Amino acid sequence: MAERKRQVVREELGEVALKLLAVQGFEGTTIEQIVAAAGVSRRTFFRYFKSKEDVIIEFLGDLGDFMLAELVARPVDEPPLVALRRAFGAAVDLIAEFPQKSVALARLTLCTPVLRGRYLDRQADLAREMAAELARRAGVPARDLRLELTAAVALTAYALSLERWSEDGGDTDLGALLNEAFAAIPGQDH
């Protein structure tokens, strides 16, 4: 009951914030403006989000968790790059369901230094976790150099696709971009 209300306030705050941030830019928008538009106090904002960045970044966190879960769900006999591509494909489908919101989010993240930093940080973390999962599947010890590099290059391919997609304004087919980027990864034909 009270839990429902919390979720509603949180989503409302997130929506209002994204709208303002997308229009005025990250640095150009103060928390004061966000909470005024949402009708809550400044103090309450910080009860829902650790920082201004977190309003935007939490979407990325959720998406990362989703991608990792998809990877875990892939059959164990798939080669690493195939499993990664399919896992990312599922995430891409999720993104494509809300193209306008995703583009706004991506644009804001990519052109705001502090957000881009947090995004890349999360990506590096994800690469580590994915490499660990790939190691588990392959039955080799964690922190395998090859697998860490594989996860990193796959995530870079994904990031490049997303970047170009958001530059195009979300018009092109993100799934196709992803496949193209994965096809450009060297050393997977043997």
Partner DNA sequence: TTCCTGGGTGGCACTGAGTGTCAATACCGG
Partner DNA sequence: CCGGTATTGACACTCAGTGCCACCCAGGAA
Give residues in contact with DNA (CB under 7 A). Answer: 1-3, 5-6, 9, 29-32, 39-44, 46-47, 50-53
Q: Does 114 sit near a second copy (CB under 8 A)? A: yes
Q: Which does 156 bind (CB under 5 to 8 A by kind): a second copy, DNA, none?
A: a second copy
Q: Does 1 sit near a second copy (CB under 8 A)? A: no
Q: Name every residue whose Cβ is closer than 8 Å to that of residue 35 and which is 6 or more positions away in sequence.
A: 41, 42, 44, 45
Q: Name every residue whose Cβ is closer than 8 Å to that of residue 183 and which is 6 or more positions away in sequence.
A: none
Q: Does 188 sit near a second copy (CB under 8 A)? A: yes
Q: Which does 1 bind (CB under 5 to 8 A by kind): a second copy, DNA, none?
A: DNA
The first and second tokens of residue 92, run together, are 């891409």
Are residues 118 and 57 in contact, defined by beta-carbon separation less than 8 angstroms?
Answer: yes
Are residues 110 and 163 in contact, defined by beta-carbon separation less than 8 angstroms?
Answer: yes
Task: Report, in Å, the least distance between residue 159 CB and DNA.
Answer: 24
Q: Whole-angstrom Cα distance, residue 107 to residue 101? A: 10
C-beta of 63 vs 114, nearer to a second copy: 114
C-beta of 52 vs 74, nearer to DNA: 52
Are residues 63 and 49 in contact, defined by beta-carbon separation less than 8 angstroms?
Answer: no
Task: Report, in Å, the least distance between residue 110 CB and a second copy.
Answer: 10
Of the candidate spans 12-20, 21-29, 59-67, 179-187, the one that interacts with a second copy by CB under 8 A turns out to be 179-187
